[in-house]
Amino acid sequence: MELLRLEATTLSLGDRVLSLDREGRPYHYFRQGLTYKRALDGSLHLRFREGERKRRRLPREEALAIYGETLDLARRHLQDPERRREALRWTPEALLDPTPYRRAYLWPVGILPPDAYLSVVLQATTGCTWNRCAFCSFYQDRPFQKRSAAEFGGHVEAVLDLLGRGRLLRRGVFLADGNALALSEPLTPLLEEVGRRFPREPVLGFLDLFAGVRKEASWWARLYALGLRRVYIGLETGHAPLLALLGKPGHPKEVLPLARALKGAGLGLGVILMVGAGGKAYGKAHREESLNLLAELPLDRGDIVYLSPFQEIPGTPYAALGLEPLPQVEAELSLWAEAIRRMGLRAARYDIREFLY
């Protein structure tokens, strides 16, 4: 059976479900308990359950075989002439080719919050202003750079070229990279450009405490007027000694005036905490002080508390600390989530291994 939506085409064939964007590219393929997802750089990612959830990126030959299979399904089962044309102009090699993505993104998109995987990512900056947190490797490959209005305009064009009609699947604009909202005045022409190219689309972005606390409350109202709607704060912990150990500047309590200013401007918040960071030694203080701090924040049901099961990344300064990991991170995460829900707030999982753009 084929389902023709304005933004996508879906073929349901018993135990197989194949979804294509309006450029005819498969973006989701379910086959007998296995889920394949195509990222915009052409790479293909498998998700499946084997007791726990597993994930891996397919090597070239395997990805080509799966793309060949999706094309074969489209050839045999797609009836609508326009949707057939969209799908059948591709080859497995073209689907795997990263060149169009590299033209649009000089540096690959490092990470997004889970509810922004289907946004359009625009890099107002590349890299992170700080780039020295002990646990973070997202932007180690690049220097921090701001984009001028002209450079940003060129980047927007290239992203729109990459997406083509695949843009119809996407909602919202995520202003990347790690800390684009650290910019001051140079941000305004970039947001104006976003407003012109993506009218009425909500703008989202990460903000770290140390960058946020330096802004006046009125600044956030200006950004709201320019389309900013949600800010994701990498708080990580409410326990100050742990934040210092993680190499992140500032004091967790600084989130209180910042959150008040952001909420006062009408912005939604996503507050990110890393469950399991600091390992066994910090487990109790990390949980208690983080939950206490959350209880003081002016959050409501429109906001989200993201709980990220901590992933130690080899080669980072954190790994060199040699901290004994928390033995049951998933059980700990459930404890946190229950406590947050008891506060009347929304808690959601933020597993960085699931990130795909």
Closer Cβ to ligand SF4, 27 or 139, answer by number: 139
Select from 185, 186, 174, 190 the least CA-distant residue to 230. 174
Closer Cβ to ligand SF4, 38 or 239, answer by number: 239
Residues forming the site for ligand SF4 (CB under 6 A)? 128, 130-131, 133, 136, 138-139, 178-179, 208, 234, 248
- The alpha carbon torsion through 105, 108, 109, 111 (nearest 10 deg) reads 180
Closer Cβ to ligand SF4, 181 or 203, answer by number: 181
Rounded CA-CA distance 167/225 in Å is 24
Select from 187, 120, 189, 188 the least CA-distant residue to 157. 120
Closer Cβ to ligand SF4, 145 or 328, answer by number: 145
The answer to whether the CB of 232 falls within 8 A of the CB of 255 is no
Closer Cβ to ligand SF4, 124 or 128, answer by number: 128
Rounded CA-CA distance 319/250 in Å is 22
The least distance separating ligand SF4 from the CB of residue 202, rounded to whole angstroms, comes to: 22
The least distance separating ligand SF4 from the CB of residue 220, rounded to whole angstroms, comes to: 19
E strands, the chain, are 2-4, 8-13, 16-21, 26-31, 34-38, 44-50, 52-57, 120-123, 125-126, 145-146, 173-176, 203-207, 228-236, 268-275, 304-309, 346-349
Select from 169, 40, 132 the least CA-distant residue to 317. 132
Rounded CA-CA distance 205/172 in Å is 10
The least distance separating ligand SF4 from the CB of residue 247, rounded to whole angstroms, comes to: 8
The least distance separating ligand SF4 from the CB of residue 206, rounded to whole angstroms, comes to: 7
The least distance separating ligand SF4 from the CB of residue 1, rounded to whole angstroms, comes to: 44
Closer Cβ to ligand SF4, 42 or 212, answer by number: 212
The least distance separating ligand SF4 from the CB of residue 138, rounded to whole angstroms, comes to: 6
